[in-house]
Structure 1
Amino acid sequence: MTALIGLESILSLALVFAVALLAGFVKGCVGFAMPTVMMSGLTLLLPPEQALAALIIPTLLTNTWQALRQGVRSAWQTVIRFRVFLAAGCVCLVASAQLVPVLNARALFGLIGGPILLFACAQLAGWRPVLGSRSSRVEAAVGGFTGLIGGVSGIWGPPTVSYLTAINVPKQDSVRAQGTIYGLGAVALAGAHIQTGVLRPDTLPLSLFLIPAALIGLAIGFRVQDKFDQATFRRATLLVLIVAGLNLLRRAVFG
């Protein structure tokens, strides 16, 4: 079985399963960070391209569950509300995904990791920038940048959450919006990386193997999240953003 999914031992099998379980749990608690946790953990055991392929299917399914948790109608309303963000993000994601085989992404990780870290730390310290009104230009710019880094790394949570925090979206709406945005992004990512060859017959089995762990972790995380009030949810979100920012800076420095 280890050979079928591209791993060398039962221990490696257990470790990647544990990484997916943890990633699903964190996502269930705060609505995002699953690709961040999975890439951080899996790249300790796998080449980056194989790790990216492994997270695609679990990310797609967990985001579908998250987006539809309050029903199809609510998910569709979220699509309409954030259509500019989604359109810009999908276009840039598909475009940047084509560069994965040739692009050194370390500079990009640094450019996003630094601002995300500063934003989250400042928010925890009491600074609360709030956009007075939503702007299509700002939303398109944030969506486009989110798609750019998402196509290269499979990670699009930090800029999305930063934007949702800045426009003061309530907890339940924020989690549903994240699921919808990330879910549609995951569809685009899967399609793009089938085309680039990252997701192929020899990398697909590991991605399928990680589905149960991700879904179990997500279910447990949902139960924890349901107990959070708005303030606790916001603090938890910012703490995870700090970890995500630090991880992106680590990848920028050390690769």
Structure 2
Amino acid sequence: MIGLVIAVFAVAGMIKGTIGLGLPAVAMGLLTLVISPFQAAMLLIVPSMVTNLWQLFAEGGVLRLIRRFWTLLLGIIVGSIWTVFPTLSEGNSGFHSEALLGGMLALYGLYGLFARSMPNLAPHEKWLSPIIGYLGGALTVATGVVVIPVVPYIQSLQLKRDDLVQSLGLAFTVSTICLAVFLHQNPVDQMPIDYKMSMIALIPALVGMWAGTKIRYRIPEQKFRKIFFCGLVIFGSYSVLHQVGVL
């Protein structure tokens, strides 16, 4: 188990270091092949929190971003408390969280492949932010991953590169805190969060992030992004089809 955790988080950290996001999506996608989504989400707590804080505080101006995106963050919190989706603790419900995760991964991959066609939503930010935040928070406690619709929404606001990276880090940090609180309050079969294993996962995640930054300068980023997002579409689609019994 430890070997699997090290390998998964090393790969996920490398991807995050290369393109700035993707650690929870990749880690959840791979881990749920052998353990439940609830267990996988527990392992994500420490690596996600530390790497997100690293991403958030890499540059200054954090308070400025909080003032701009406070309604988005509030929506994430509300969505994680009052979600309209089956949660990670309801794995036996009619709509399995594994299938929802697969759908999120596939959508995430499609978004990455066609991101250039995204419209500029900045003029509508005031009323869209709380809605997007709510959906993001609701899906976080349902899948363990904050991807859709928060990531494409933030990337559609036409932010500068550093602001974009920090804004994603801010949303990821708040979502991870909400997920940790949810897992504490809604354990499956009284299963506590395994912080020891989560701390073990942090080390390969950080090493992977460091390696990812090195890879970023060695291969064309656009080429890597296409390969990565195509893989997410394939894997996410397979997960959904497998859950519904097609495969």
Tell me by how many angstroms 1:28 deviates: 1.5
- 1:205 — aligned with what? 196
Secondary structure at 2:82 match in 1: helix
Tell me by how many angstroms 1:238 deviates: 6.4
- 1:44 to 1:62, Cα distance in 2 relative to 1, 3 A: same
Map 1:1-255; keep pairs closer than 5 Å: 12-71=1-60, 74-96=61-83, 99-102=87-90, 103=93, 104-105=96-97, 108-109=100-101, 112-113=104-105, 115-123=107-115, 127-131=117-121, 133-197=123-187, 200-201=191-192, 203-225=194-216, 227=217, 240-255=228-243
Q: 1:39 is aligned with what amino acid?
A: M
Moved more, 84-93 or 42-51: 42-51
Give a deviation string over 1:181-226, Cα, whole Å, max 9, x none: 101111111111111125954633221211111111122223445x
CA contact (8 A) 1:109 1:248 kept: yes
For 2:100 and 2:184, the matched residues in 1 are separated by: 23
Q: 1:143 is aligned with what amino acid?
A: G
For 2:242 and 2:174, the matched residues in 1 are separated by: 30
Tell me by how many angstroms 1:99 deviates: 3.1
For 1:201 and 1:132, the matched residues in 2 are separated by: 41
Tell me by how many angstroms 1:37 deviates: 0.9
For 2:68 and 2:145, the matched residues in 1 are separated by: 22
Unaligned runs of 5+ in 2: none
Q: 1:105 is aligned with what amino acid?
A: S
What TM-score, normalized to structure 1?
0.79
CA contact (8 A) 1:116 1:242 kept: no
Q: 1:217 is aligned with what amino acid?
A: G
Unaligned runs of 5+ in 1: 1-11
- 1:207 to 1:155, Cα distance in 2 relative to 1, 3 A: same
Q: 1:54 is aligned with what amino acid?
A: L
Paired residues, number = 236
Moved more, 129-138 or 241-250: 241-250
CA contact (8 A) 1:154 1:189 kept: yes
CA contact (8 A) 1:52 1:154 kept: yes
Secondary structure at 2:88 match in 1: coil
For 2:228 and 2:118, the matched residues in 1 are separated by: 17
Q: 1:209 is aligned with what amino acid?
A: I
Give a deviation string over 1:41-98, Cα, whole Å, max 9, x none: 2122323221121111111111111111114xx2222222211111101211233498
- 1:246 to 1:138, Cα distance in 2 relative to 1, 3 A: farther
For 2:10 and 2:120, the matched residues in 1 are separated by: 34
Q: 1:77 is aligned with what amino acid?
A: R
- 1:224 to 1:172, Cα distance in 2 relative to 1, 3 A: farther
Q: 2:150 is aligned with what amino acid?
A: T
For 1:175 and 1:55, the matched residues in 2 are separated by: 20
Q: 1:88 is aligned with what amino acid?
A: G
Percent identity of equivalent pairs: 23
Moved more, 19-28 or 127-136: 127-136
CA contact (8 A) 2:87 2:142 kept: yes
The 4+ residue runs of structure 1 with deviation greater than 6 A are none
CA contact (8 A) 1:67 1:180 kept: yes
- 1:3 — aligned with what? none
Superposed CA RMSD: 2.9
